[in-house]
Amino acid sequence: MTAPVPASLWHFLSREVALVCDASGTLTWMDDRAARLLEASPGQTLRSLAAQGTEDKVDRLVTLSRDERVERWEVILCVAGQPRTFAIRGAPHEGGVALVGSLVTEDYAAAISQVTETMSELSALHRETERQQRELKRRADELARINRELEESNRGVRTLHAELDEKTESLVRAAEIKSRVVANVSHEFRTPLHSILGLARLLLNPANGSLTPEQQKQVQFIRSSGEALFELVNDLLDLSKMESGKATLRPVKFGAGDFLGALRGMMRPLVPGDSSVELRFEEPPADLELETDEAKVSQVLRNLVSNALKFTEKGHVTVSASRHGPEDMVCFQVSDTGIGIAPEHHAHIFEEFTQVDSPLQKQVKGTGLGLALSRRLAEFLGGGLTVRSTPGRGSTFTFIVPRVHPEVKEMVGMTERSQQLDPGRAPVMVLEDDRQTLFLYEKYLSRSGFQVLPVRTVEDARRTLQRVRPAAMVMDVMLEGETSWSFLSELKSNEATRDIPVLVVTLMDREQKARALGADEFWLKPVGEEQLLRKLAEMARSGPVQKLLIIDDDEVHRYLLRQLLRDTPYILEEAGTGPEGLRLAREKTPDLIFLDFVLPDMTAFDVLDELKADPRTRDIPVILHTSRQLQEEERRRLEKGTSTILAKHKLSREVAITRIRDALHKTGLGTDRGEGGRRG
């Protein structure tokens, strides 16, 4: 262990070695590290620690350091007998020198090896970076290539889209043309076919002279070919109607039992007396009643039964009807014990002009249109048609149809809604036989101040007019089975109904006739929502509207009332003072007065008294409008001359309109015409 560090040496101390020598270079003190590393001890000369051949350099260091500060002096000292370079700093110290040094050789080597290591790491890193850069570039190239390809295929897709759009458009056009051509051609075919069939029937009638047996056979051929052609033309016509959306629904109520009975009557002649096929009709549930297009249901079933009979040589053909599923559907089934249909043909037989090859097919003629048409009809009725069949064992065709056609249900809902007059809306009678158009009008007006009263026949319209006086009427003149021209003229020539504004909306341009008969407006279908609403509001105002006079000094209340009564057939007059109100009441003879209880210049009692005193204004109903609680006495006094007392804070559109209608109704002016006519 060496002596403790002299205090004056502290600032010299380094991590490596610290030595103190006297002026002759003999060591007088050293720190632990120096003692350990250099194996030095006091009394030894610094020179003895130097590596061989460098002793002079060490001497010179001591000599120099005695007089001045030496910053960095490299000397080689022996560490464990091995020469090592030290960077020594020296300085004069109490008659000798103090030296502090650190090993450089080892640091250097370590640094070098570290640098070398780092260098090699760096170069590895560099190589890796280069590799990654190359990879990145490759990927960027690849991406650019993919991008180019994508862009090209995008362009391709766009072109394809455009082509597809064009094709779709031309297909739609072609389909339209096809439907039109088929419809026209079929119609054209029907007339000459009628003649051919009629003539053939005439020729075959013995009363018109007899034919030779050969001639009879020939005419029979003409007749059966003509009949087949007639059937084809009819099917084509029906199909084209379905396709073009021109098919009309004629729903009626009918019982399943009666319906199947009639069907049995129609189909029985197809089964000869000696046939080995039995045609069975199962008894349907007694209370099963449908409300849909009976003729179309019958058309589907007739086709299914005649197919079943065609493709069944022995056994039976069974027809049944039952309730189906929770959704109020009816399931008709026609099953047979005939030749059946292979699974691969199940889908195709519903396509147009598809027939499955079979020996029976050759014997019985057909158009290949029956099932296609039947499926369309089933879908038109809101149902569907499917087949289950096993070759050699028979087939079952299942025709499911809503018991009540959805349109009928909607119509019922609409009619029910119209039975209940909405006090908040002005009734508009719509005479229209097309349900879709009625639904559309109802939808258009559902959020407006108008309520649709749908009527589908002139008779209906007359009945509704007994009950309600509409604010306006919208009517079609081309109704199914009738026109409403005479009804229009009847409306417009009758004193009681002449001022109901009428908008005629129809498919054919008959404006002159409509106007001549008194129509207030004439439009061609189709009608847009906004257009209709605007016109109705305008017409309702010009029709049997009622004038209302508001006497209220509060501008805000007048504004609120105006807003509440927007879109109603009422015309508003406003007065801000009592005298002004009385003047307007006399001049304009309003149908009803809204009177504010608190006026600045006159009391409501005065106004009421003056109104009652004048024969011109005596009968005008008054709705007293107040924002304050009335005394019992006041209330009693007011009730005599007033129809209703209405609290301002409770006023809503509905309440206002109901009260107005009630008040007008009492004087025979309301839209409900139960009591008395319109006040003159």
CA–CA gap between residue 144 and residue 147 (Å, rounded):
5
Instruction: For ligand ADP, give the closer residue by CB, 299 or 418.
Output: 299
Give min distance, CB of 165 to ligand ADP, in A: 33
Give min distance, CB of 370 to ligand ADP, in A: 3
Would you say 570 and 548 are in contact if contact means Cβ atoms under 8 Å apart?
yes
CA–CA gap between residue 637 and residue 634 (Å, rounded):
5
Give min distance, CB of 377 to ligand ADP, in A: 12
Would you say 309 and 337 are in contact if contact means Cβ atoms under 8 Å apart?
no
Give min distance, CB of 273 to ligand ADP, in A: 22
Instruction: For ligand ADP, give the closer residue by CB, 367 or 398.
Output: 367
Instruction: For ligand ADP, give the closer residue by CB, 241 or 659.
Output: 241
CA–CA gap between residue 212 and residue 495 (Å, rounded):
73
Give min distance, CB of 182 to ligand ADP, in A: 17
Instruction: For ligand ADP, give the closer residue by CB, 372 or 584.
Output: 372
DSSP-derived pairing of the beta strands 622-626 and 592-596: parallel
Instruction: For ligand ADP, give the closer residue by CB, 84 or 388.
Output: 388
Instruction: For ligand ADP, give the closer residue by CB, 349 or 592.
Output: 349
Instruction: For ligand ADP, give the closer residue by CB, 311 or 441.
Output: 311
Instruction: For ligand ADP, give the closer residue by CB, 186 or 484.
Output: 186
Cα→Cα distances 312→276, 301, 306, 339, Å: 9, 16, 10, 6
Q: What are phi and psi of 87, to 5 degrees?
A: -95, 115
Instruction: For ligand ADP, give the closer residue by CB, 76 or 349.
Output: 349
Name the residue among 490, 434, 428 with its Cα closest to residue 459. 490
Give min distance, CB of 339 to ligand ADP, in A: 5
Instruction: For ligand ADP, give the closer residue by CB, 238 or 552.
Output: 238
Structural element, H or E, at residue 72: strand 70-79
Give min distance, CB of 230 to ligand ADP, in A: 14
Length of the chain, in residues: 680
Give min distance, CB of 163 to ligand ADP, in A: 34
Give min distance, CB of 160 to ligand ADP, in A: 35
Instruction: For ligand ADP, give the closer residue by CB, 217 or 314.
Output: 314
Q: What is the arrangement of strands in the sheet containing 547-551, beginning at the earlier edge strand?
A: 571-575, 547-551, 592-596, 622-626, 644-647
Q: What single string gives the DSSP state of each residue in 483-536? A: E-HHHHHHHHHSTTTTTS-EEEEESS--HHHHHHTT-SEEEESP--HHHHHHHH
Give min distance, CB of 168 to ligand ADP, in A: 27
CA–CA gap between residue 383 and residue 402 (Å, rounded):
6
**DSSP state at residue 80:** T
Instruction: For ligand ADP, give the closer residue by CB, 377 or 461.
Output: 377
Instruction: For ligand ADP, give the closer residue by CB, 376 or 469.
Output: 376
Structure tokens at 503: 């908008």
Cα→Cα distances 472→465, 502, 506, 518, Å: 11, 6, 17, 13
Query: Rule CB under 6 A: which residues touch ligand ADP?
Result: 307-308, 311, 336, 338-339, 341, 349, 354-356, 361, 366-372, 395
Instruction: For ligand ADP, give the closer residue by CB, 83 or 391.
Output: 391
Cα→Cα distances 268→55, 227, 366, Å: 142, 19, 19
Neighbour-count burial for 111-144, b at 16+ CB within 10 Å, e otherwise: eeeeeeeeeeeeeeeeeeeeeeeeeeeeeeeeee
Distance from the Cα of residue 653 to its chain's centroid: 31
Token pair 């003999």 in the structure block, residue: 26
Give min distance, CB of 288 to ligand ADP, in A: 24
Give min distance, CB of 388 to ligand ADP, in A: 11
What angle separates helix 653-666 from helix 555-564, to the nearest 10 degrees?
Answer: 80
CA–CA gap between residue 412 and residue 227 (Å, rounded):
41
Name the residue among 134, 82, 136 with its Cα closest to residue 105. 82
Structure tokens at 417: 């809604």
Helix, strand, or coil (residue 333): strand
Q: What single string gives the DSSP state of each residue in 82-150? A: EEEEEEEEEEEETTEEEEEEEE-HHHHHHHHHHHHHHHHHHHHHHHHHHHHHHHHHHHHHHHHHHHHHH
Give min distance, CB of 374 to ligand ADP, in A: 7
Give min distance, CB of 373 to ligand ADP, in A: 8
CA–CA gap between residue 1 and residue 42 (Å, rounded):
11
CA–CA gap between residue 365 and residue 342 (Å, rounded):
20
Give min distance, CB of 347 to ligand ADP, in A: 11
Instruction: For ligand ADP, give the closer residue by CB, 368 or 668.
Output: 368
